Amino acid sequence: IGGDFLKGAPFVAGSAALEDGRIAVLLHVPDIMAEIRKLARPVETQAVKRLKVLLVDDSPIARATESALVRALGHEVEEAQDGEDAWERMQRGGTFDLILTDVQMPRLDGFALTRRLKNHADFGRLPVVILSSLASPEDKRRGLDAGADAYLVKGELGVESLALTIDRLT
């Protein structure tokens, strides 16, 4: 179950069909913890600025995994279920240091969310990182054209690459 979509995805041990027909992705906790430990040693020796990050992804499993990575870096995470949910949080006065957004989501995708944020007077300088399973050069170009400050491919995402990107942008 899951086929090529999950093949090679970091931290994924497999998938299973639940009784109600939904698919559950099984995370490989030892791999997640090993990745976190790789970065934990250097983090202990330097002062880390605690950021408030808005994580936008329609997949609960992806949100849980990505949120764990961001929290492991010492940052606070608030989660939004899609781009429209994120936009509404921003409109209600949400203050964040960084936005991490998926691309393929219902209601408002990550490209459109990024354009909205970058074209808004109050949010235009807020760093936006696209986290997507879409890895083609065309997809990356579309993300950067939308105004994203960085584009990371989920299948290549690790704690170190995420930490370096966050540090560079903040």
- Mean pLDDT over each residue of the chain, to the nearest integer: 86
Higher pLDDT, 166 or 16: 166
d(CA 47, CA 52): 16
The full DSSP string for the chain is: --HHHHTT-TTEEEEEE-TTS-EEEEE-HHHHHHHHHHHHHHHHHS--PPPEEEEE-S-HHHHHHHHHHHHHTT-EEEEESSHHHHHHHHHTT---SEEEE-SS-SSS-HHHHHHHHHTSTTTTTS-EEEEES--SHHHHHHHHHTT-SEEEEGGG--HHHHHHHHHHH-
pLDDT exceeds cutoff 90 at 45: no
Q: Give the max Cα distance, the chain.
A: 48
pLDDT tens digits for 148-160?
Answer: 999 999 888 878 8
Q: How confident is the model at residue 48 (pLDDT cuts 50, 70, 90)?
A: low
pLDDT exceeds cutoff 60 at 100: yes
pLDDT tens digits for 110-144?
Answer: 999 999 999 999 999 999 999 998 889 999 999 99
pTM of the model: 0.74
Mean local confidence (pLDDT), 15-21: 83
